[in-house]
Structures are given as C-alpha cells and as structure tokens.
Amino acid sequence: MKIQNWKEMVMKVFITGATGYIGFNVARAFRRAGHQVWGLTRNENKGKLLAQQEIQPVIGNMQQPESFAEIAENCDVLIHAAADYQNDTIVLDNQTVETFLDVAKRGAHRKTIIYTSGVWVIGNTGGKTVDESTSLNPITVVAWRPDVENMVLHAAEANGVVIRPGCVYGKQGGLTGMWFDG
C-alpha cells in the first residue's frame, strides 16, 4: 500500500519516562494521533495507567537498557523524557541515549531520536531573549547535558531532535499541580 499522505502513516513510538510529567502527556498525544506507543515504566501499577491510555507498558528501567532495547529497535521514533534523580543521572542519561543510538544503527530504517533537555543549559541570560542559536552556559546541575544534546544532534545514524522545555505546569503534578486542586 502506498501512503498518499504522511498523516496516514502510523508510527511506532517508544518513550522513556512515559509515566512522568512530560512523558505521559507526550505518549498520550502520540496515541491520540493514532500511533502505536510503548512506554517505559518501572512497575506494573504505573503500567496499568499506561494501558488505560492504550499505551503499551514496557516494565523495565534505564539501569538495564536490555529491558527496552529490543522494543526500541522496532520503533520509528525514540523519545528520552525520563530523569532518574535517585541514581547517577549523568550516567543513565548517557547510557540511554547511547542505547538509542545503538539500536538506530541496527534498525532496518532511519529513526528519529528526541531528547528532552531543558532551558537550564542556556544559563543566565541577563534578561535577554534567546533562541536555539544562543551560546550555552549551563548551570552546574546540568553542565553535562550539552554533551548529550550533541550526541543526539550529530548522530549520523538517526534524525536527532533536542527539546528544551522551560517551566512545565499543569494539573497532573509538579510544583504547580496544587493550583489546579484549589
């Protein structure tokens, strides 16, 4: 069957952090758009939350990339939206992106890898307007992220995309979640 319109194409999407504040909503958006979505989660209870949204749960974790690598290899889009602040965040972030790049090399077709970074990599702007061409001056807690961003953006084996969310808010949680409960 020849696809006449890109909107008719169903993509296979794998996302880390699929039960997280950003990742859950991204996973739901892809699913609502008609795509097949697999979401990494550490436990079965959160997996049930994903299944209720027609997102296929993958029980595993970033410490064990073998728990998700095979599924990621069969997907078109790989999204890294997880952060594990209980363990070595820098090592896990690098390891997850390296796993994505590795499965992209082995895949039958070119993948898109989307990495979720953040505006903190830009640093103090002194009140000036910035855009994607602004030089990076990351604050200490995310000083390692530009290197990971560059791994994604300069990967020969995949289409690399980096997003840098700023303040994320909404009902589901985070610092502003209580505003919606009031």
Instruction: Output the pLDDT for position 182.
Output: 59
Cβ–Cβ < 8 Å for 8, 65? no
pTM higher than 0.85 for the full model?
yes
Q: Residue 108 — very low, low, confident or very high, per pLDDT cuts 50/70/90?
A: confident
Instruction: Output the pLDDT for position 1.
Output: 46
19-77 tens-digit pLDDT = 998 999 999 999 999 999 999 999 999 999 999 999 999 999 999 999 999 999 999 99
Query: In whole angstroms, how far apart are CA 93 and each of 57, 58, 74, 116?
Result: 20, 18, 21, 10
All structural domains of the chain, each given as residue ranges with its CATH number in brackets, are: 9-181 (3.40.50.720)
Is pLDDT above 70 for 177? no
Question: Which of 16, 83, 77, 79 minimizes the C-alpha distance to 50?
Answer: 16
| Identity at 21, one-letter amino acid code | Y
Mean pLDDT over 168-174 rounds to: 68
Mean pLDDT of the chain: 91
Q: Which residues contact 174 (CB under 8 A, 6 or more apart)?
A: 21, 168
